[in-house]
Chains A and B, each alone.
Chain A
Amino acid sequence: MRRLLARRMKFHLLGAFLVSVGCATLYKFGIAEARKRAYTEFYKSYDPMKDFEAMKAAGVFESAPPK
């Protein structure tokens, strides 16, 4: 029973710190970096005009019908 609160507090403080830092790291590498990579990959070879012509040909624009 000696140092009951101190022991419990140390355990839980350490645990809480590790869990929160772990969550943050996982988020950064799993979600944030992945998203940044997806965006850079997409915009490397993105041609907006070509994309527009493709969409126009498919007929989704009301004011720019496919000819």
Chain B
Amino acid sequence: MLASRVFGLVGRRSICTSLCLRAHGHAGVVKAEDYALPAYVDRRDVPLPEAAFVRDLSAQQKALKEKEKASWTALSVDEKVELYRMKFNETYAEMNKGTNEWKTILGGVLFFLGLTGVILIWQKHFMYGPIPHTFSEDWLSAQTKRMLDMRVNPLEGISAHWDYDKNEWKK
């Protein structure tokens, strides 16, 4: 209710946006913003984009466009190329050309992997405490012996690689 009071006091005009204000001087048509117009794209799957590449033609280019309306056999090769470049930014060959970006990416990836490695080494050296006693040599050998006694994974796993007759690992 207060808002409508303010509305009445201030008047409808000032609620308009600046665009609307400008419109009142141009027969009610708002100037189309750049982003709202059909755009030019360099895409493999869009062979004929909605707009030409060069939007504002110089006088020379305008003259060329006039010449284009006549017979095309009258155009020289340079003129044809100029007309092409006015309409398109890159040729298909230029568009599809590979870059050297992969080198940057690979380098970045390897660099950060290395940095991570440095951090991990620092952590192991300075931060972490001792590992559990169950990782000692004696414990591990006793553990493995028990696994072999129990015939753990006798078909394709650890017991399959132990020679029970000779009491050693299979060659």
Contacts and interface: CB of A to CB of B under 8 A. Distances in A.
B155 A58 contact: no
B146 A1 contact: no
Interface in A10-26: none
Contacts of A47: none
Contacts of B44: 4
Max count, chain A CB within 10 A of own CB: residue among B44, B47, B155: B155
Interface string A21-40: 00000000000000100110
Nearest to B148: A58
B47 A38 contact: no
Interface string B152-166: 001110001000100
Interface string B20-44: 0000000000000000000000001
B142 to A, nearest CB: 12
Contacts, number: 24
Max count, chain A CB within 10 A of own CB: residue among B44, B92, B149, B154: B149
Nearest to B154: A42
B155 A60 contact: no
A22 B156 CA distance: 25
Interface residues of B, number: 13
Contact of B149 (A4, A35, A42, A59): A59
Contact residues of A: prevailing secondary structure: helix
Nearest to A58: B149
Interface in B105-138: none
Contacts of A35: 156
A39 B155 contact: yes
Contact of B155 (A42, A51, A54): A42
Max count, chain B CB within 10 A of own CB: residue among A38, A54, A60: A60
B167 to A, nearest CB: 12
B80 interface: no
14 contacts: A1-B47, A4-B44, A35-B156, A38-B156, A38-B160, A39-B155, A42-B154, A42-B155, A55-B149, A58-B149, A58-B150, A59-B149, A60-B146, A60-B149
Interface of A: 1, 4-5, 35, 38-39, 42, 51, 54-55, 58-60
